[in-house]
Chains A and B, each alone.
Chain A
Amino acid sequence: QSALTQPASVSGSPGQSITISCTGTSSDVGSYKLVSWYQQHPGKAPKLIIYEVSKRPSGVSNRFSGSKSGNTASLTISGLQAEDEADYYCCSYAGSSTFWVFGGGTKLTVL
């Protein structure tokens, strides 16, 4: 069982928007503004797409956005494209001893 809870799957049509939730606890998501999101295509390493809840690394499309409220973080992808079909993982800093906790991952299907 993963430390953070994500829906197993979400789907949307091209051009639509989808949101993936990530629920943790007051010890991780709720305590730090240090939630990150990773995109993983089959057979590839995860790629950072959001850090510090809502910041985007250079080169990541502004169609990706993040937010947080209480113990739940969210990733929104707007203007869905076929290339967005992938697995998405949330991750939260959980303190200097535990460091990182991940969500179980969400499979995004672009219909």
Chain B
Amino acid sequence: QLQLQESGPGLVKPSETLSLSCTVSGGSISNTSYYWGWIRQPPGKGLEWIGSIYYSGSTYYNPSLKSRVTISVNTSENQFSLKLSSVTAADTAVYYCARHGVEELDYWGQGTLVTVSS
């Protein structure tokens, strides 16, 4: 059974860079059928796709966040990572990692709350 697990600091200061990792177990991140993405959900609000990466390193970003987002992949460790720079309180959210094709996001991590505060 495929599992995804987010990890990283739960508190980030304003203007700093948010960094999260997602570890994939029970399957290979190099599977050519899938992409690996990040989605976030501010408290009490809806879902927002942040960006995705293919095992080869090709990246796709939400245009509204593109200038601040970097997603990378480490196939040897079966992990992919998110960096979001110049964070503000508006970036406070539960951050999810997920697997997807073009049809759907079929496996999700449990999510991790990141709070931006001094």
Binding site for B on A (CB under 8 A): 2, 34, 36, 38, 44-48, 51-52, 57, 89, 91, 93, 96-105
Contact = CB atoms under 8 A, between A and B. Distances in A.
B34 interface: no
Given A99-B60, A100-B105, 19 more contacts: A2-B46, A34-B102, A34-B104, A36-B105, A45-B108, A45-B111, A46-B108, A48-B105, A51-B106, A57-B106, A91-B104, A97-B60, A97-B63, A98-B62, A98-B63, A102-B46, A102-B47, A105-B45, A105-B46
Given A45-B96, A45-B111, A46-B108, A100 B103 contact: no
Interface residues of B, number: 23
B105 A89 contact: no
A57 B103 CA distance: 12
B102 A89 contact: no
B71 to A, nearest CB: 12
Contacts of B63: 97-98
B46 A51 contact: no
B14 interface: no
B110 interface: yes
